[in-house]
Chains A and B, each alone.
Chain A
């Protein structure tokens, strides 16, 4: 069975601080995908990144960076120099093979609510 744990329910930081959102996952599959999504108050999910299980390279995109460690089953997300507009709920998600149909299904962690204060 697959599982995604985001232990941090809420995080509050002051603008310009760096913040790391933790994500730990469980899966028995060797082929899987990990995602991060941002959900602003409007509710629409914003895709941030996708990583497959064979690519452990860390990635940086502007102020965002991701650290994928298979040894600890973690896929952490860091926002550098946070801004008020970063305030949102962030979800980590895992897709693994849905064996009945041969497709993939995605499950989400509980989410981390980030407050960035001016």
Chain B
């Protein structure tokens, strides 16, 4: 079956530093990848949609300069949280859509803690 991995699964960083999270589709190509954020006991909120080779489309209220998304290949998208602050602590989940389908496969998530 289609598998999406995320790395790292957990990361703790100090306030002011930047953190990069990778999302990979392991056995399929994905033209579109999505990044979600989930605060404790809340729903998944879509942050941005990234298409391979083009700029990401950010949802309203998401700072594109703070959450840098790069989708350099059909199997890899990265989310960089720049100058992280404690309020950025959250569970970040990516998903990937295979070419020419309406399926969506989710990664296991990355738990970010900013101290």
What 1/0 flags go to B27-71 for Cβ under 8 Å of A?
A: 000011010101001111110010100000100000000000000
- A13-21, A54-62, A71-79, A101-109 - the one binding chain B: A101-109
Whether the Cβ atoms of A44 and B109 lie closer than 8 Å is: yes
The chain B residue sitting closest to A31, CB to CB, is: B102
The chain B residue sitting closest to A43, CB to CB, is: B109
Neighbour of B97 across the interface among A35, A43, A100, A103, CB < 8 A: A103
B93 interface hit (Cβ, 8 Å): yes
A91 interface hit (Cβ, 8 Å): yes
Question: Is the contact region of chain A dominated by helix, strand, or loop, or is it mixed?
Answer: strand
Chain A residues with CB below 8 A from B109, complex form: 43-45
CA A105 – CA B47 in complex, angstroms?
11
A49 interface hit (Cβ, 8 Å): no
- Interface size of B as a range: 20 to 34
Give 7 closest A-B pairs by Cβ, nearest first.
Answer: A44-B108, A45-B106, A108-B44, A110-B43, A108-B43, A43-B109, A103-B32
Whether the Cβ atoms of A43 and B32 lie closer than 8 Å is: no
CA A22 – CA B50 in complex, angstroms?
31
Chain B residues with CB below 8 A from A64, complex form: none
Chain B residues with CB below 8 A from A107, complex form: 46
Neighbour of A105 across the interface among B42, B49, B93, CB < 8 A: B49
Whether the Cβ atoms of A109 and B43 lie closer than 8 Å is: yes
B:63-106 near A, CB below 8 Å: 91, 93, 95, 97, 102-106
